[in-house]
C-alpha cells in the first residue's frame, strides 16, 4: 500500500485539481461555448503556479535556458545541458561567460570558440504531464526531473512547453510537439550549412539570409558525424498526458520518414500514459477513486481538452487501441512503458505495450509495486527510493537503446556529414565510389562492406527439428535483459519442450529444462561473462548477473530476441542437491571428523584380553 504521506498529499492534490477543473469548466460555459480554439496564442502555464527560473550557469551539474520557438503562439522550450559536455580542461571553469553587443557581460555558459573541443550528446524531447490543463515545463517538479534525466542519461533534454486546454484544445498540444521536432531539424540544417557566418560578439550562427539563428548550445555540442546533435539518436519521453503527445509525435515521425531528416526518433519512454476509453478496464474499475486521479476527474479533463463536437473517450488521442490506427505498429520505435500498481490507467498502458510486442516491437513494461500515478515526477515524491530507482531504470534502457542505434546508423551518417563540412573529402569519396563500382563489377563485394562497416547479417540456422533457445543476461539489481546467444538443444530438450504444454508433462519435468540450461551456463560462466562484457558495455559496472532464456517458436528468432517474457534461470544455490548442501555445511567428512573407525572393530585392550584367554 502507498505510504501515509502519499495518501494525505493525494487528498490535497485531488482537491486542488477538482477546483481547477470546475473553474475551467465554468469559464467555458460562460464563454462562447463553441468548443473551438478561442485563443490561438494560448498559455503554457496557469497564473499562480510556481515557476523555476532558468539558470544558464551550471547548477548541480546542469545548465538551462528558455527559448520561444513559435512567434505565432506561446510555444516555448527549456534546454537542459549537463556539465558532461565540458572537456577535461574546461571542467574547472563551468561559468564561462561572454560579452553581448552592448558590452554587458553574459554570466551564463557560452560554448568555446573551438567547437572541436565540445563533447557531443544525443537529444531528448520531454513532455510534461498535468492532464492537458495544468503543469508547465518550468514547474519545480518538471525542472528537477529534467535535470535528473539529463545527468543520468547523459543527454541534452529539451522540455516542451506546449499550449494548455481549454484555451487551446486538441490538436494544439499535439501540433506543438511536431513543431518542436521540426524546429530541431531546422537547427540541424542551420548548423550544417556550408555558407555560414559567425558573429564575433556572441558567436552565434546565422543562415545566409539572416532569417533564422542556430541555437549556440545545440550548434556547439552537436556531433559533426551526424549533423549537429545526434539527431539520428533522438529519444522522446512523456509523463502522464505528455506520454500521449510523445506517442503521437513518434507515430508522426515514423509516417513522415525522410521528411524529418536528419532527425530520427529511435525510442520513446511513456511514463504512466494518460490513456482512457469507453469500455472500462479492470484497473479503471478497481481504482476508479484512486490516488491523485480518479475516473471523474480524468473524464472532465478530456472534456476540456477534446473539441465538444469530437468528444469521445475512444478518440485516437485518448485510446491508442482504437481500430482506426493511422500506422502499422510494426514500424513503431522501441517503447518503454512505466506503470504504477495503484494507477487506474495501468491496464490500458500495459495492453498498448502488449500490442506493440505482438508486432515484434521492443516494448518492455516496468511496473512498480505500491506506486501511484506520478510517483517518479511529483515534487514531494522525487527523492523517494522508487522515484530514484525508476529514473535509473529509464537511464539504463535509454543508454542501451542509443548504443544499439549508434551501431546501426552512426557510421553511415558520419560519411554523409563529412562531405558537407569538409569539401576536400568529396573528391576522395568520389574516388572511393569509383573504386567500389569497379570492384563490384568484378563480383567482389567485400570492399563495400568494409568501407561502411555494416554489422554482419544474422546467420541462417537450418531447422533440424531440435528446439532452439535464446540465452539472456542481466544485472542482478536491474531487470533489463540483454540477448547473448542462440543455443540448440538435443532430443531430451525436444521432449521437454513438447511436454511443456501438457499438464502431465509439466508435473513430470517441472523445472528440469531450466535447471539443465542453467547447469550448462554456470559450467562456462566466466567465458560467457567475458563475451557479454564485450557486447554490452553497460554490464561492466555490475558484479553479479542473472541468466534467462526464451524458446524460439516457429523459427521466429526476431521475436525471441525481444527482452519481454524472459524466463529467469535458477541461481547456483538453487541447483545444489541435498548432498551438496550437507557438504557445504559440514565440509568433507574425512577432514571434519578425522579418522573414522568401525563400531565393531576391537580396541587394543580387548585384543590383549582375548590373547590371554586363549593361552
Q: State yes or no: pLDDT of 14 exceeds 70.
A: yes
pLDDT of residue 488 exceeding 60: yes
The rounded distance, in Å, linking the Cα atoms of 425 and 137 is: 43
CA 240 vs CA 115, 151, 337, 371, 432: distances in Å: 38, 22, 11, 14, 50
DSSP 59: B
Higher per-residue confidence, 262 vs 307: 307
Checking if the pLDDT of 509 tops 80, the result is no
Residue scoring higher pLDDT (403 or 245): 245
- 68 an active-site residue? no
Residues 6 or more apart whose CB falls under 8 angstroms from that of 30 comprise: none
pLDDT surpasses 60 at 226: no
The H-or-E segment that residue 140 falls in is helix 140-153
Q: Tell me the mean pLDDT in the region 137-142.
A: 95
Residues forming beta bridges with residue 76, ordered by sequence position: 68, 161
- DSSP states of 352-401: HHHHHHHTT----EEEEEEEETTTTTSGGGTTSHHHHHHHHHHHHHHHHH
Peptide bond into 396 cis (omega under 30): no
Query: Residue 359: its pLDDT value, please?
Result: 87
Catalytic pick among 76, 136, 240, 413: 240
User: d(Cα 265, Cα 577) in Å, to the nearest integer?
Assistant: 50
Q: Between these two residues, 70 and 597, which has the higher pLDDT value?
A: 70
Handedness of CA 478, 480, 484, 488 (dihedral sign): positive
Mean per-residue pLDDT, 482-490:
82
Identify the CATH number of the domain defined by range 4-28+40-84+117-195+212-411. Answer: 3.40.50.1820
Would you state the pLDDT for residue 329?
Answer: 82
In the chain, which segments carry CATH 3.40.50.1820? 4-28+40-84+117-195+212-411
Q: Which of 143, 247, 294, 343 is catalytic?
A: 343
- Taking all residues of the chain, what is their mean pLDDT, rounded to a whole number? 76
Q: Greater confidence, 218 or 18?
A: 18
Residue 38 among the catalytic residues: no
Specify the pairing of strand 122-127 against strand 365-372.
unpaired
Q: Could you tell me the pLDDT band of residue 535, with boundaries at 50, 70 and 90?
A: confident
According to the model, what pLDDT value does residue 129 have?
A: 95
Q: Is the pLDDT of residue 448 over 60?
A: no
- pLDDT at res. 157: 95
Own/partner long-range contacts of 384-391 (Cβ < 8 Å, ≥24 apart): 390/338, 390/366, 391/145, 391/148, 391/149, 391/152
Q: Residue 343 catalytic?
A: yes
Q: Which long-range contacts (CB under 8 A, 24 or more apart) does 94-99 make?
A: 94/57, 94/58, 95/57, 95/58, 98/202, 98/203, 99/201
Most confident listed range (83-92, 184-193, 218-227): 184-193
pLDDT at 242: 96
Overall pTM > 0.85:
no
| Greater pLDDT, 510 or 474 | 474
Is the pLDDT higher at 595 or at 366?
366
Angle between helices 512-523 and 491-499 (to 10 degrees): 140
Helix (H), strand (E) at residue 550: strand 545-551
Angle between helices 172-191 and 241-256 (to 10 degrees): 50
Higher pLDDT, 511 or 302: 302
Q: Pick the catalytic residue from 128, 221, 342, 373.
A: 373
Cβ atoms of 63 and 56 within 8 Å: the answer is: yes
> pLDDT tens digits for 392-432?
999 999 998 887 765 454 444 444 444 444 454 445 444 43
Q: How confident is the model at residue 139 (pLDDT cuts 50, 70, 90)?
A: very high
Question: Where would I find the H helices in 500-603?
Answer: 503-509, 512-523, 525-535, 557-560, 572-575, 578-586, 589-593
Q: Give the pLDDT score at 483.
A: 87
Most confident of 103-117, 305-319, 428-442: 305-319
Residue 343 DSSP SS3: coil
The H-or-E segment that residue 415 falls in is helix 385-421
Q: What are phi and psi of 359, to 5 degrees?
A: -90, 15
Amino acid at each position: 500500500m502507498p505510504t501515509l504521506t502519499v495518501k494525505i498529499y493525494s487528498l490535497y492534490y485531488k482537491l486542488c485539481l477538482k477546483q481547477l477543473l470546475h473553474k475551467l469548466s465554468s469559464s467555458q460555459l460562460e464563454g462562447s461555448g463553441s468548443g473551438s480554439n478561442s485563443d490561438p496564442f494560448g498559455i503554457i502555464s496557469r497564473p499562480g503556479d510556481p515557476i523555476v527560473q532558468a539558470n544558464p550557469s551550471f547548477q548541480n551539474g546542469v545548465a538551462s535556458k528558455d527559448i520561444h520557438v513559435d512567434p505565432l503562439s506561446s510555444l516555448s522550450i527549456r534546454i537542459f545541458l549537463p556539465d558532461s559536455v565540458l572537456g577535461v580542461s574546461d571542467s574547472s571553469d563551468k561559468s564561462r561567460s561572454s560579452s553581448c553587443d552592448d558590452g554587458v557581460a553574459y554570466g551564463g555558459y557560452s560554448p568555446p570558440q573551438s567547437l572541436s573541443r565540445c563533447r557531443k550528446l544525443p537529444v531528448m524531447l520531454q513532455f510534461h504531464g498535468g492532464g492537458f490543463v495544468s503543469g508547465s515545463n518550468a514547474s519545480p517538479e518538471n525542472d528537477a526531473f529534467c535535470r535528473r534525466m539529463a545527468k543520468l542519461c547523459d543527454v541534452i533534454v529539451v522540455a516542451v512547453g506546449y499550449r494548455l486546454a481549454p484555451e487551446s484544445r486538441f490538436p494544439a498540444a499535439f501540433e506543438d510537439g511536431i513543431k518542436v521536432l521540426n524546429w530541431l531539424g531546422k537547427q540541424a540544417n542551420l548548423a550544417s550549412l556550408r555558407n555560414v557566418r559567425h558573429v564575433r560578439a556572441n558567436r552565434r550562427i546565422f543562415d545566409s539570409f539572416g532569417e533564422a539563428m542556430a541555437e549556440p548550445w545545440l550548434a556547439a555540442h552537436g556531433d559533426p558525424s551526424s549533423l549537429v546533435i545526434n539527431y539520428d539518436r533522438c529519444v522522446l519521453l512523456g509523463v502522464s498526458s505528455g506520454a500521449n503527445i510523445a506517442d503521437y509525435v513518434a507515430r508522426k515521425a515514423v509516417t513522415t520518414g525522410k521528411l524529418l531528416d536528419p532527425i530520427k526518433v529511435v525510442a520513446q519512454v511513456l511514463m504512466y500514459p494518460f490513456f482512457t476509453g469507453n469500455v472500462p478496464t479492470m484497473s479503471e474499475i478497481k481504482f476508479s477513486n484512486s490516488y491523485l486521479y480518479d475516473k471523474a476527474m480524468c473524464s472532465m479533463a478530456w472534456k476540456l481538452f477534446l473539441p465538444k463536437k469530437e468528444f469521445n473517450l475512444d478518440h485516437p488521442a485518448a485510446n491508442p487501441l482504437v481500430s482506426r490506427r493511422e500506422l502499422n505498429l510494426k514500424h513503431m520505435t522501441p517503447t518503454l512503458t512505466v506503470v504504477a500498481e495503484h494507477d487506474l490507467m495501468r491496464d490500458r498502458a500495459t495492453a498498448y505495450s502488449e500490442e506493440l510486442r505482438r508486432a515484434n516491437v521492443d516494448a518492455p513494461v516496468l511496473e512498480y509495486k505500491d506506486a501511484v500515478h506520478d510517483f517518479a515526477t511529483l515534487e514531494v515524491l522525487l527523492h523517494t527510493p522508487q522515484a530514484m530507482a525508476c529514473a535509473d531504470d529509464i537511464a539504463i534502457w535509454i543508454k542501451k537503446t542509443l548504443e544499439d542505434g549508434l551501431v546501426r546508423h552512426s557510421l553511415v551518417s558520419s560519411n554523409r556529414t563529412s562531405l558537407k563540412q569538409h569539401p576536400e573529402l568529396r573528391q576522395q569519396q568520389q574516388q572511393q565510389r569509383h573504386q567500389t563500382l569497379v570492384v563490384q563489377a568484378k563480383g567482389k563485394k567485400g570492399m563495400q562492406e568494409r568501407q561502411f562497416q555494416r554489422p554482419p547479417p544474422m546467420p541462417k540456422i537450418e531447422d533440424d527439428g531440435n528446439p532452439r533457445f535464446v540465452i539472456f543476461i542481466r544485472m542482478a539489481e536491474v531487470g533489463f535483459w540483454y540477448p547473448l546467444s542462440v543455443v540448440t538443444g538435443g532430443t531430451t530438450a525436444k521432449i521437454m519442450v513438447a511436454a511443456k504444454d501438457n499438464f502431465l508433462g509439466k508435473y513430470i519435468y517441472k523445472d528440469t529444462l531450466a535447471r539443465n540450461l542453467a547447469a550448462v551456463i554456470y559450467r562456462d560462466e566466466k567465458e560467457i561473462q567475458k563475451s557479454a562484457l564485450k557486447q554490452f558495455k553497460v554490464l561492466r559496472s555490475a558484479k553479479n548477473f542473472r541468466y534467462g532464456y526464451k524458446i524460439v517458436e516457429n523459427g521466429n528468432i526476431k521475436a525471441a530476441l525481444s527482452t519481454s517474457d524472459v524466463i529467469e534461470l535458477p541461481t547456483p544455490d538453487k541447483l545444489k542437491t541435498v548432498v551438496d548442501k550437507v557438504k557445504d555445511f559440514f565440509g568433507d567428512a574425512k577432514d571434519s571428523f578425522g579418522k573414522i573407525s568401525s563400531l565393531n572393530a576391537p580396541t587394543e585392550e580387548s585384543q590383549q584380553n582375548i590373547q590371554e584367554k586363549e593361552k
